[in-house]
């Protein structure tokens, strides 16, 4: 006969109440585990997508004269007349410490050309990189090959050209391979060529005007990436598009705050369930506690019995709560259909955290009922029957 045996027997006898407390704690812990797992997986997923959603680092030649507005952002200076970046120098990007965080490198050759008797801006781009850097592009037709051109929506309208029609650029005949649907950006005004075609047209062989870089910066400060790139490209100016980075991070932070706020509320309610149920249980057991005290149990022994009961239920709630939360997160991720692939992995640290959380919550919520039980006057308890 031990205090532990008394606790276990009482739990077995009052299965309904034990189940109610267990359910309250399981819901609380499962919510936290579920949200935490979901948020972690989603954050990782969102971060991955956000990082791919366009460039967040821009590399331009050093200049003090002209400014370039791009995508509504002031991105610094570039001049077509200044010494341009050599394409071969871009290989150095693979040598920076955080090179694994680089998702795409998009070199651009800019130039003004005479197109069908109009002056317009042309951009030579790497279309493989553009798939990552410009995921919002909807192309009617296909990406161009050499001697082909992809027109922005406004450019196509102004020139009155359709896919398959020919046009003359600086006296060179090109064919329209496709048309980008309206984006609302500066891209609508441009004509896009392959990098090689643009370099030939503008006599910029092996040179590029600017570089867009998409960096996966969930786990690395963007400033570090900027410093590392600047170090390997001393002749260029490297800038982070801070607005993009900040908005990405703020969006994630807001999502996390909201989720953890909900978790805190559910946990608080779970704690209240334990508190109220344990208080009811103590009141029901007035006679029993009176007997314990009459046969010589100290107040601390009574508290031990109550805490042991709460501890056993809490530990179980931690295990079940982790399982339920994990399953809920996996189901939510599967149902959300946001492209999150692969099963949610078992996280030992989170499982341990769930058990510890359940124990802390259950035991803290039991402090008052345990004190109430220990303070019961044995004479009053037995006389009240």
Partner 1 sequence: MSYIVADQLGKSFGAGAAAVHAVSGLNFRIAPGEFVAIMGESGAGKSTLLGMLGAMNAPTTGRLHVDGIDVYALNPDRLADFRREYLGFVFQSFHLIPYLSVIENVMLPLAVSRQGSPEKRRRAQEALAEVGLGGKAGRLPGEISGGEKERVAVARAIVNEPPVLLADEPTGNLDSGNSREIMRMFQRLNASGMTVIMVTHSAECSGYAGRVMRLSDGRLKTDRRTAVSALRRAS
Task: By CB under 8 A, name the binding residues for partner 1.
Answer: 1-3, 5-6, 9-10, 12-13, 287-288, 290-301, 377-379, 382-383, 385
Residue placing its CB nearer to partner 1 in the complex, 203 or 295 = 295
DSSP symbol at 2: -
- Identify which of residues 83 and 287 has a Cβ nearer to partner 1 in the complex: 287
* Closest approach of partner 1 to the CB of residue 312, in Å: 15
CA angle 35, 38, 41 (to 5 degrees): 145
Do the Cβ atoms of 357 and 317 come closer than 8 Å?
no
Give me the DSSP letters along 281-327: HHHHTHHHHHHHHHTT--HHHHHHHHHHHHHHHHHHHHHHHHHHHHH
Q: How far is the CB of 374 from partner 1 (least distance, A)?
A: 9
Distance CA 106, CA 117 (A): 29
Question: In the bound complex, what is the minimum distance in angstroms from residue 379's beta carbon to partner 1?
Answer: 4
Q: Which is nearer to partner 1, 12 or 203 (CB)?
A: 12
> Shortest Cβ distance from residue 364 to partner 1 (Å)?
24
Please say which residue, 171 or 296, places its beta carbon nearer to partner 1: 296
Q: Please, which residue, 242 or 300, has the CB nearer to partner 1?
A: 300
**Smallest gap from residue 292 Cβ to partner 1 (A):** 8
Shortest gap between Cβ of 284 and partner 1 (angstroms)?
12
List the helix and strand counts (H, then E) for the chain.
11, 14
**What's the chain's length in residues?**
385
The encoded tokens of residue 275 equal: 């508190």
Residue pair 83/67 in contact (Cβ under 8 Å)? The answer is no
* 126, burial (CB in 10 Å: exposed 0-12, middle 13-18, buried 19+): buried
Select 4 or 207, whichever has its Cβ closest to partner 1. Answer: 4
Which of 32-63 are b and which e, b meaning 16 or more Cβ less than 10 Å from the residue's Cβ?
bbbbbbbbebbbebbbeebbbbbbbbbbbbbb
Task: Find the shortest distance in angstroms from Cβ 283 to partner 1.
Answer: 17
Min separation Cβ 320 and partner 1, Å? 24
Cβ(236)–Cβ(84) below 8 Å: no
Between 119 and 383, CB nearer to partner 1: 383
Strands (E), the chain: 57-61, 69-70, 73-74, 85-86, 102-115, 118-125, 139-141, 148-151, 166-169, 172-180, 191-194, 207-208, 210-215, 236-240
Q: Which is nearer to partner 1, 37 or 374 (CB)?
A: 374
């Amino acid at each position: 006969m031990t205090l532990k045996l008394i606790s276990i027997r009482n739990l077995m006898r009052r299965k309904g109440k034990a189940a109610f407390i267990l359910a309250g704690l399981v819901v609380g812990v499962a919510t936290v585990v579920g949200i935490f797992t979901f948020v972690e997986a989603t954050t990782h997923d969102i971060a991955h997508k956000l990082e791919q959603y366009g460039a967040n680092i821009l590399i331009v030649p050093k200049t003090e004269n002209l400014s370039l507005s791009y995508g509504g952002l002031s991105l610094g200076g570039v001049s077509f007349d200044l010494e341009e970046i050599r394409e071969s120098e871009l290989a150095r990007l693979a040598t920076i410490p955080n090179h694994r965080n680089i998702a795409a490198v998009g070199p651009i050759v800019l130039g003004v050309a005479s197109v069908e008797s109009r002056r317009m801006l042309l951009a030579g781009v790497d279309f493989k990189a553009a798939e990552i850097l410009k995921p919002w592009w909807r192309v009617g037709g296909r990406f161009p090959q050499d001697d082909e051109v992809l027109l922005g929506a406004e450019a196509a309208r102004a020139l009155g050209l359709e896919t398959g029609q020919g046009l003359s650029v600086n006296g060179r005949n090109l064919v329209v391979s496709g048309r980008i649907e309206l984006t609302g950006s500066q891209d609508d005004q441009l004509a896009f060529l392959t990098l090689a075609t643009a370099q030939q047209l503008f006599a910029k062989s092996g040179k590029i005007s600017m570089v867009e870089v998409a960096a996966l910066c969930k786990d690395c400060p963007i400033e570090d990436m900027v410093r590392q790139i600047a170090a390997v490209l001393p002749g260029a100016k490297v800038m982070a598009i801070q607005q993009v980075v900040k908005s990405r991070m703020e969006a994630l932070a807001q999502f996390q705050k909201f989720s953890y706020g909900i978790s805190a509320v559910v946990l608080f309610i779970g704690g209240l369930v334990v508190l109220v149920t344990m208080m009811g249980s103590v009141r029901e057991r007035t006679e029993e506690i009176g007997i314990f005290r009459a046969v010589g149990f100290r107040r601390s022994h009574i508290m031990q019995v109550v805490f042991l009961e709460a501890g056993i239920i809490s530990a179980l709630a931690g295990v079940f709560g982790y399982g339920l939360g994990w399953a809920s997160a996996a189901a939510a991720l599967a149902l959300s259909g946001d492209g999150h692939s692969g099963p949610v992995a078992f996280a030992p640290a989170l499982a341990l955290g769930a058990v510890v959380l359940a124990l802390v919550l259950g035991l803290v919520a039991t402090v008052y009922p345990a004190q109430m039980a220990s303070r019961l006057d044995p004479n009053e308890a037995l006389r009240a029957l």
